[in-house]
Amino acid sequence: MQLVLLGGSISRASVMTESRDNENSLIRRVASFARKCLFGILSVGPIPNHIAFIMDGNRRYAKKNNLEEGAGHKLGFTALMSMLRYCYELNVKYVTIYAFSIDNFKRRPEEVQSLMELIREKIEGLIKEESIVNQYGVRVHFVGDLKLLDESVRLAAKRAMVATSKNSKAVLSICIAYTSTNEIMNAVKQSCEEKWEEHKKLGSCGTTNGLIDYAEKVGRKGNNFIGLSDIERHLYTRVTPPPDILVRTSGETRLSNFLLWQSASSLLYSPSVLWPEIGLRHLVWAILNFQRNHSYFEKKRKQV
């Protein structure tokens, strides 16, 4: 009798969880459908090609909700996955995120270590078959001075880039060990080294026929040893166009050395919400503002 009752209660419990699962998946399907309709309406206007995110506020969120230290970053990662899903459903081709700055290395060593561990774990998660990058055909790029990273993180990053190199529908650039000033200086160094090599080659070969014209061309450039195109060619972010919208959460309105060169004409959006709390409504608001300014901005650009 008791066994029957126990069996009955277990089966009732399993039916209840099953119906709750069904309810959840039904809600998820309805939500997904509503989102599709919403994005269909938004797509009538111009959709940004490239959105960049500065994911600020993870630690403040953990503090506000009395969570342990690393929990804020983990919840931040969940929020990032949702935002990526919304962006790719909306056909935003390029997304760039500011994961870790070179300045952040100056934080407490324990914090830096745990962040690096989390980053490595999440990169490995991205390579898995069922991850969002494979679902939406996203190619992953790691942008920054990767030599500054630990061996394990660097190897994981290289593996992720190789694993997703065949994806072509969208691009995700993850800025890690990155600052914009470091990127520009690196571009200048590489341009100088490239031109220096060419210069030395000319010097050692003398003036053989094939090189005469080239020598003259370089000489004609005069003082302009390097130009704008040389710098742009050597930037880490050369594979992506400039961002249309730059979103920074937690209400701070500063760039913190992120994409300084590239965001010369990006729309800056700084909602006061903390990064783990960011939702669909913030993305939609950013895009509506972008669409509102787009015609005025295009008109100004045509005058240039």
Partner 1 sequence: MDGLVSSLLLLLLLLLFGGVTSIWPYQSLKFWSKILRLISRLSNQSPNNTALGSDGFPEQLRRELMPRHVAVILDGNRRWAKEKGLTFIEGYRAGFVAFRVFVGICVQWDIPIVSLFLFSSENWRRPQISLRTYLHASRSNRETNSEIPELGVRVSVIGDTCSLPISLQELIKETEKETEKGTKCHLILAMSYGGQNDIVQACQGIATKVKHGFLEPEDITRPLVEQELQTRVTNVPSPDLLIRTSGELRISNYYLWQSAYTEMYFTTTYWPDFDRGEFIEALLSFQQRGRHFGRN
**Strands (E) located in 102-188:** 138-143, 170-178
Contact 153, 118 (CB under 8 A): no
- Report yes or no: 160 and 126 within 8 Å, Cβ to Cβ: yes
Of 39-47, 70-78, 88-96, 125-133, which part binds partner 1 (CB under 8 A)?
39-47
56 is catalytic: yes
Task: Characterise 258 by phi-psi region: left (phi > 0), alpha (psi -120 to 50), beta (else).
Answer: beta
Is residue 104 close enough to count as binding partner 1 by CB under 8 A? Answer: yes
Query: Amino acid identity of 21?
Result: D
Q: Which of 253, 109, 140, 236 is nearest to 182 (CA)?
A: 236
Can residue 43 be called a binding residue for partner 1 (CB under 8 A)? no
Identified binder of partner 1 from the candidate list 189, 200, 201, 238, rule CB under 8 A: 189
Stretch that binds partner 1, among 34-42, 66-74, 115-123, 142-150 (CB under 8 A): 34-42
In the complex with partner 1, the residue whose CB is nearer, 14 or 295, is 295
12, 20, 169, 292: which one binds partner 1 (CB under 8 A)? 292
From 21, 56, 145, 213, active-site residue: 56
State the Cα–Cα distance between residues 248 and 263, nearest whole angstrom.
13
**Nearest-angstrom CA–CA distance, 296 and 145:** 37
Chain centroid to CA 114 = 20
Best CA proximity match to 127, nearest among 90, 165, 94, 89:
165
Q: Where do the H-state alpha helices sit in 43-108?
A: 58-64, 71-89
3-state helix, strand, coil in the chain (%, to 5): 60, 10, 30
* x-marked contacts with partner 1 along 263-282 as a string, rule CB under 8 A: xxxxxxx---------xxx-
Q: How far is the CB of 255 from partner 1 (least distance, A)?
A: 6
From 67-75, 148-156, 203-211, 220-228, span contacting partner 1 (CB under 8 A)? 220-228
Q: Of these, 118, 132, 211, 231, which contacts partner 1 (CB under 8 A)?
A: 231
Q: Does 27 bind partner 1 (CB under 8 A)?
A: yes
Binding site for partner 1 (CB under 8 A): 27, 30-31, 34-35, 37-38, 41-42, 44, 101-104, 106-107, 179-181, 184-185, 188-189, 191-193, 195-196, 199, 223-228, 231, 252-257, 260-261, 263-269, 279-281, 284, 289, 292-293, 295, 303-304
The catalytic residue positions are 56
